[in-house]
């Protein structure tokens, strides 16, 4: 029945997420909450907490590769305008 409490908790975070916006940080807040919720689902609903190292490795690999894709693509876009124009 841990699950029930967990679900209520996630439900509450949703409510908190869409009325409370502290300035420019709201993207960070929204994403942090999303990540937390995802982590809870992964750990408990998907039993990863009780799974072997291999499953952990699979998940970490997925996140790692996603990070590669984002980080390196943005290394292009962020530095587009760094060269002096003439």
Partner 1 sequence: MPEGLAATHEHASHPALRHHFENMEQQREAGTLGMWVFLVTEIMFFGGMFLAYTLFRYEYPAAFVSASNHLDIKLGALNTGVLIVSSFTMAMAVYSTQIGRQKATIICLILTMILGATFLGVKAIEYHDKYNDQLIPGQLIPWRPFNPEVAKPGDTDPHKLHLIEGATTQNVQLFYWIYFAMTGMHALHMIIGLGIMTVILIMAWRGKFSPEYHAPVEISGLYWHFVDIIWIFLFPLLYLLGRHLEHGG
Partner 2 sequence: MEEFVIPKQPGSNYLNAEYGLKSWLLTKDHKRIALLYLGAITFFFFIGSLYAMMIRLELLTPQGDLMQSSTYNKTFTQHGIVMVFFFLIPAIPATLGNFLIPMMIGAKDLAFPRINLLSWYIYMAGGIITIYALLAGGVDTGWTFYVPYSTTFSNSYVIATGVGIFINGFSSILTGLNFIVTIHTMRAPGMTWFRMPLFVWSHYATSLIMILGTPVVAITILLVALERLAHIGIFDPAAGGDPVLFQHLFWFYSHPAVYIMVLPAMGVVSELIANFSRKNIFGYKFVAFSSLAIAVLGFLVWGHHLFVASQSVYAGMIFSFLSFTVAIPSAVKVFNWTATLHKASISYDTPMLYGLGFIGLFTIGGLTGMFLATLAVDVHVSDTYFVVAHFHYIMVGGTLLAYLGGLHYWWPKISGRMYPEGWGRFSALVVFVGFNLTFAPQFLLGYMGMPRRYHTYPVELVSWQVLHVLSTAGASILGVGLMIPLIYLVWSMRYGRIAEANPWHLPGLEWQTPSPPPTENFLTTPIVTHEAYEFAPPEHKEVVGKFERQQPAES
Partner 3 sequence: MQSWLPIPESASTLSGEVDALYYYIWGVTVFFTLLISAVVIFFVIRYRRRNPFEIPRPIEGSTKLETLWSVIPLLIVITFFAWGAKLYFAQYRPAQNAIEVYVVGKQWMWKFQHATGQREINELHVPVNRKVKLIMTTEDVIHDVFVPAFRIKADVVPGKYTTEWFEATKPGTYNFFCAEYCGMNHSGMRGYVVVMEPTEYENWLSGNAGQTSPAAAGRNLYESLGCVSCHGANAEGGRGPALLGVYGSKVVLNNNASVTADEGYLRESVLNPQAKLVTGFGPIMPSFQGQISEEQLLQVVAYIKSLSTSKPEQATAKPAPSATPSAGAKPSPTAKTSSSPK
* Residue 2 binds which of partner 2, partner 3, partner 1, none (CB < 5-8 A, kind-dependent): none
CA dist 14 and 61 (Å) reads: 28
- Residue 27 makes contact with partner 3 by CB under 8 A: no
Q: Which is nearer to partner 1, 1 or 86 (CB)?
A: 1
Q: Are 33 and 16 in contact (CB under 8 A)?
A: yes
Query: What angle (nearest 5°) sits at the alpha carbon of residue 62, between those of residues 59 and 68?
Result: 140
Write out the residues near partner 2 by the rule CB under 8 A: 54, 61-62, 65, 68-69, 72-73, 75-80, 82-83
């Amino acid at each position: 029945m841990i699950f029930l409490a967990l679900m209520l908790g996630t439900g509450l975070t949703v409510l908190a997420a869409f009325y409370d916006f502290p300035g420019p940080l709201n993207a960070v807040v929204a994403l942090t909450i999303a990540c937390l919720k995802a982590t809870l689902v992964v750990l408990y609903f998907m039993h990863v907490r009780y799974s072997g190292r291999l499953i952990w490795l699979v998940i970490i690999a997925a996140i790692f590769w996603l990070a590669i894709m984002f980080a390196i693509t943005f290394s292009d876009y962020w530095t587009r305008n760094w060269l002096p124009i003439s």
